[in-house]
Amino acid sequence: MAKLPDGTNLVIVVSFGLFVPPRILASAKYGGLNVHPSLLPDLRGPAPIHHALLRGDTHMGVSLQTLDDRAFDHGTVLAQSPAPGMPIAPDASFQEVLSAAAVKGAEMLIQGLRDGVHVAPREDVGWKAAALQGKQLVHAPKITKADGQIHWSAWTAEQFARRVRVLGSVWTHAVSDRGVRKRVIFLDATPVAQGDVLRQGGEGRLVCDHEGADEKRAGRHEMKVVLQQDGSCLIGIPGDSWIRVEKVKVDGKPEQMAVIALGSFVR
């Protein structure tokens, strides 16, 4: 972005991911606007929808803000989804929430331009800042491979299933009784209550390693496994809950039913 065309009135960015230089903003008559899919200042950053879903939010929203010339997502909030925000269905996928936010964001941008909210004096109409006063603001960094690594000692069955729904899959390193270590990807997960566990097939233990600098989560973990006649596996989660996994992919192999894929790792 070297130079704006002469006579440019306004710079508008949506999910741009790059910082617009101050000289570019200064060269536009009304500066710049950004549509951000969160209730700012909550979840500033490149992945607000992912993080809203991962922490189990029941509502989210969209904010129309000015482009700040010093920091991402620190502009004046010119419009914002009314409190408490847009409801999020308990089983909503990332794509479903993204699509809903895109529609609301487009409507908000068009209405804001019609109302002239970008013309000085600009008024900050955001309500979320007051609701979060005195609380630690949460950033929404880019999703990485580490976000999908299973935290066996920390996740509940609901959190496990939520991660799969939002990220598409989660992974761990399984270790066989011969010491063979392979990356294992879980492609689905459904919470199962303790009382609904049917011991139809064999039972055993799944041993997994957690990699990373987090000492509380690093190390080796053992989980109970119950093999099911339909090809799925039930895996015990801390807190007397279970998850049912049907499809698994082991590094170097195609997607398989869980009983087959985990067969060489269950002891």
Residue 216 has a pLDDT of 56
CATH code of the domain in which 215 resides: 3.10.25.10
Q: What are 79-92's pLDDT values in tens digits?
A: 999 999 999 999 99
Record the tokens describing residue 25, joined without a space.
Answer: 């903003």
Residue 5 has a pLDDT of 78
Domain boundary among the residues 80, 98, 131 is at 131
Q: With CA atoms as reference, report the closest residue to 265 among 232, 231, 236, 223.
A: 223
If one counts the domains in the chain, the total is: 2
d(CA 34, CA 73): 8
Residues 201 and 256 in one domain: yes
Residues 101 and 164 in one domain: no
d(CA 95, CA 37): 13
- Maximum alpha-carbon separation in the chain: 73
Domain membership of residue 254 (yes or no) is yes
Domain membership of residue 139 (yes or no) is no
Picking from 45-59, 68-82, 211-225, 247-261, which range would have the lowest pLDDT averaged per residue? 211-225
CATH code of the domain in which 107 resides: 3.40.50.170
Record the tokens describing residue 146, joined without a space.
Answer: 């580490």
Residues 123 and 171 in one domain: no
Residue 90 has a pLDDT of 92
1 has pLDDT over 70: no
Q: With CA atoms as reference, report the closest residue to 18 among 43, 1, 35, 40.
A: 1
Residue 220 has a pLDDT of 87
Domain membership of residue 266 (yes or no) is no
Domain membership of residue 87 (yes or no) is yes
Phi/psi of residue 193, nearest 5 degrees? -70, 155
> CB of 68 within 8 A of CB of 75?
yes
Q: With CA atoms as reference, report the closest residue to 177 among 246, 266, 105, 56.
A: 266
Residues 38 and 70 in one domain: yes
Residues 117 and 15 in one domain: yes
Domain that holds residue 66: 11-131
Residues 166 and 209 in one domain: yes
Residues 198 and 235 in one domain: yes
Q: Which amino acid is at 53?
A: L
Residues 156 and 127 in one domain: no
Tokens 């398989």, residue?
Answer: 256
Domain boundary among the residues 102, 131, 160 is at 131
Residue 126 has a pLDDT of 97
Residue 200 has a pLDDT of 66
Q: What are 184-231's pLDDT values in tens digits?
A: 999 999 999 877 776 666 889 999 998 765 545 567 899 999 999 999
Mean pLDDT over 72-100 rounds to: 97
Q: What are 135-175's pLDDT values in tens digits?
A: 999 999 999 999 999 999 999 999 999 999 999 999 999 99
- Mean pLDDT taken over the chain: 92
Domain boundary among the residues 131, 165, 190 is at 131
